[in-house]
Structure 1
C-alpha cells in the first residue's frame, strides 16, 4: 500500500496517483487457502479473522469487514489456522496454541487458538509486498516530500545509521527496504528479522531469520544471537527488521564498532517517547538507562518518524537523537 503525504486538516484530498507497479494485481498466494482471493487486491496489507468468525481487511483506509466470506464457524476457523501454520512449517494445537510463520510467497501468519484466545481462533495475515519499494516510487506516491527523499538518500550515501520509528502499520518495513535499495551495489547487506518480511531491490542481500523454540522449549534462536552472527559475515550494512527486545544492545554495539550505514525499526508512535522506548528495550538486555543512552547517542545518527492518519502512511519527520538537560533522550530537528 503506498504511503500518502499527510495534509493539513481541512485540505481537500487529491486523487491518489500511485506508481505503476502499485497498480498491478498482487500474486495469488496458494498457501493462504480460502483467504487467497482476498489477498490479490494490491491495496490489501492485512487480513484478520476474529474470534467471532468475521474476516477483516486493511486496504489503506483502516479495517473493514469482508462480507463476501460471511461468518466462519469455529471448527472451520481452527482448521484454517492449523493449515496455515502447517504451510509455514510449524505445528499448531492445544499444546502449542500460538504460532508465527512465514508462508511460501511471503505472507506472514500469526494464529492463536482457544483458550488462549478468549473467543474463537484468531488468524492475522500480513501480506508481503513482492515488488520492493524504491524511494522514487514512495516520493511519487506522496510518501515523502522531495526534500525528505533527498535527505534520506543522503543518509544512505553518507553511511549514517538510521532508526525508523512509527506505530504498527505505518510502513516501517517498506521504508527500510527502500532505504537499503539505495545502497551501492558493491556493498553487502545482512538483514536480521523475527519473521522475514524485507524485500530489498539490491544485488547482494543475505537474510537471517529467528527460529522459535519447539514444543519442548528448545532450539530457539533469537534476534540478539543473530545480530552477533552478522558480525562474522563481512557485512557492509547490518539491518534489523524490528528491535523489540534485548537485540537492541547487540545492534547498538555493532553500530558503535565501525559497522556504519546500518538501520533498524522500532515501534514508537511518538518521537518524544522514543527515549523511554529505547530504555525499556535496553533494560531487557541488562543495560542501565545511562548505558543505553550513551550507546544510542553514539550509534544512531538519524531518526525517521512515520505516521498513519486516516489509513494514510507518510514520513512525518527526519530528526536527530539528542539528550535533554536531564540526560533523557529526545528527537530534535536537524
Structure 2
C-alpha cells in the first residue's frame, strides 16, 4: 500500500520497526550536524551548504549501514535530507496534494484526511523531542515562536495552509500539529456538480443569484466544504466588480481579477497589536468594495456585515458554523446580542431579513462525500419570527449515507423577480416538486 506520492505505507502494521527507523535516523542526523558544524540545516539557504550536507548523507550511509537493502538506504537518505531541509517525517505528507489535513496527535499517532476520510498513517517520530523540534521548525518558518511561555500558535504557512501547534503544558500528551491544506486550484461550480455536491440546476440558480447581487449565508459544520463553495460562488461575480475578503486566517483563493485580501492579526507577546475581524470589516467598508466576503462570521462583526449588506453592498457572502438554516439565524442573533449592541430582538431580526436572501446548508456524509443539503430563501418575518422556505433539498439514502437525490420543494422563490430582472430565465415550473 502506498500514498499518492508513491511512498510505502505498509509500515503501519509494524510501528515498533518504524520507531526504530526514526531513532536510527535521528542518531545519524546528529552525527551529520556535528561533523559539518551545522545547526539543523533547515535554516541554511546557501546551495553550497545543502550540497555539502547531501554529499555527507550519502557518505555516512555507505559507511555505517552495510548490509541494508537498497530500498532501506534510499529511504534513509531521503528522510535525512528531509530532516535537514524539510519537515522530517511530515515531508512525505506535505508533498501529497491529495491530503487536505495533517493531524499529529503525539509522536506515535499521525493522521491525514484524504477525500473527506480520516486515516492513520505509518508516519511516526523518534520521540517527543523529535516532534517538538519539527513543531518549532514549522512555527519558525512563519516568524513565530512556540515554547513554554507561548505554548499555542495559530498561523498561516507560506503556501496558504493553516497551522496550529500546541505543546505542553496545554497539550497533555506532548506536542500536537494540525495543518489544514487547501487546493492549489479552487473548485468551480461546474466541478462541484461533477463531484455530486449539487445539481446543474442548483448551480445555475446559485450563479444567477450571485450575478443578481443576492447576499448569501453559507452554513455547515467543520469540513463540510463551506470555504470551497464560497470560492466557487465568488467565481461567478462579474469581473467589473471589486471584492474585499476579510478572514481570521486567509483561506479564500478567488478566481477573480479584482480582489483585496485582509487577515486579522493576533496580539504580540506583550499582548499588543491585535486587529480583529470587526475592525477589518469596518475598514473594508471604507475601501469602496462592491462586495464584501467574510470568511467566517463568529462574533460582533456580524452587525457590521449586515450593515454592509443593507447599505449598498448587496451580493456579499459569509460562512457560519451551524447545523441548519434556523440554527444559523439564531447564531447570528446571539452574536449581535452578545456583541454589546442594545438592539431589541425584533430590530435584529428585521436587519437579518433585510440583509440575507439565501442560506445554503452543507453537510458531510459517511465516506467523505460533501453535499449541499438545502438552499433556503429568507422570506421575511412572520409573527415576529424569521420565516425560511427551502427551495432545493437533498434527500439522503435510507441508510443515511450519501447516495440519495436532490429535489425541488415547490416553493417559488420570491427572489426570482430580481433574478429575472438581471436577464435570467427561470420559469416557475423549474421549482415545482417532482411528480
**TM-score, length of structure 1 as denominator length:** 0.86
Aligned to 1:50: 105
Q: Which range moves more in the overlay, 277-286 or 232-241?
A: 277-286
Inter-partner Cα distance in structure 2 for 1:331 and 1:33: 51
Aligned to 2:357: 301
Q: Which range moves more in the overlay, 284-293 or 167-176?
A: 284-293
Residue 61 of structure 1 and its aligned partner are, at CA, apart by: 4.2
Conservation of the 8 A alpha-carbon contact between 1:55 and 1:66: yes
Paired residue secondary structure (2:254): coil
Aligned to 2:336: 282
Aligned CA distance change for structure 1 residues 90 and 257 (closer, same or farther; 3 Å): same
Inter-partner Cα distance in structure 2 for 1:329 and 1:276: 10
Aligned CA distance change for structure 1 residues 323 and 122 (closer, same or farther; 3 Å): farther
Inter-partner Cα distance in structure 2 for 1:241 and 1:31: 30
User: Which of the pair is proportionally richer in helix?
Assistant: 2
Aligned to 2:203: 149
Conservation of the 8 A alpha-carbon contact between 1:273 and 1:330: no
Residue 33 of structure 1 and its aligned partner are, at CA, apart by: 5.3
Number of residues of Structure 1 aligned to a counterpart in Structure 2: 305
Conservation of the 8 A alpha-carbon contact between 2:89 and 2:125: no
Residue 294 of structure 1 and its aligned partner are, at CA, apart by: 2.1
- What are the residue-to-residue correspondences of 1:228-243 with 2, within 5 Å? 228-243=282-297
Larger Rg: 2
Residue 115 of structure 1 is aligned with which of 164, 169, 174?
A: 169
Aligned to 2:389: 332
RMSD: 2.0
Inter-partner Cα distance in structure 2 for 1:61 and 1:212: 30
Inter-partner Cα distance in structure 2 for 1:188 and 1:300: 20
Aligned to 1:261: 315
Residue 137 of structure 2 is aligned with which of 83, 86, 98?
A: 83
Conservation of the 8 A alpha-carbon contact between 2:302 and 2:336: yes
Residue 254 of structure 2 is aligned with which of 200, 209, 214?
A: 200
Conservation of the 8 A alpha-carbon contact between 2:125 and 2:131: no
Residue 247 of structure 1 and its aligned partner are, at CA, apart by: 1.2
Aligned to 2:157: 103
Q: Which range moves more in the overlay, 314-323 or 203-212?
A: 314-323
Inter-partner Cα distance in structure 2 for 1:284 and 1:62: 36
Aligned to 1:26: none
Aligned CA distance change for structure 1 residues 252 and 192 (closer, same or farther; 3 Å): same
Aligned CA distance change for structure 1 residues 78 and 290 (closer, same or farther; 3 Å): farther
Residue 113 of structure 1 and its aligned partner are, at CA, apart by: 1.3
- What are the residue-to-residue correspondences of 1:181-196 with 2, within 5 Å? 181-196=235-250
Aligned CA distance change for structure 1 residues 79 and 330 (closer, same or farther; 3 Å): farther
Inter-partner Cα distance in structure 2 for 1:184 and 1:119: 50
Paired residue secondary structure (2:102): strand
2:221 is the alignment partner of 1:167 = yes
Inter-partner Cα distance in structure 2 for 1:146 and 1:81: 44
Deviation per CA, 1:127-165: give whole Å up to 9, x if none.
121112211111122121111101110111100001101
Aligned to 2:75: none
Aligned CA distance change for structure 1 residues 123 and 184 (closer, same or farther; 3 Å): same
Residue 275 of structure 1 and its aligned partner are, at CA, apart by: 2.5
Paired residue secondary structure (2:312): coil
Conservation of the 8 A alpha-carbon contact between 1:129 and 1:199: no
Greater relative contact order: 1 or 2 (C-alpha under 8 angstroms, separation 6 or more)?
1
Conservation of the 8 A alpha-carbon contact between 1:53 and 1:120: no
Aligned CA distance change for structure 1 residues 32 and 139 (closer, same or farther; 3 Å): farther
Aligned to 1:317: 374
Conservation of the 8 A alpha-carbon contact between 1:274 and 1:329: no
* Structure 1, unpaired ranges of 5+: 1-29
Conservation of the 8 A alpha-carbon contact between 1:275 and 1:330: no
Inter-partner Cα distance in structure 1 for 2:86 and 2:208: 40
Inter-partner Cα distance in structure 2 for 1:58 and 1:107: 14
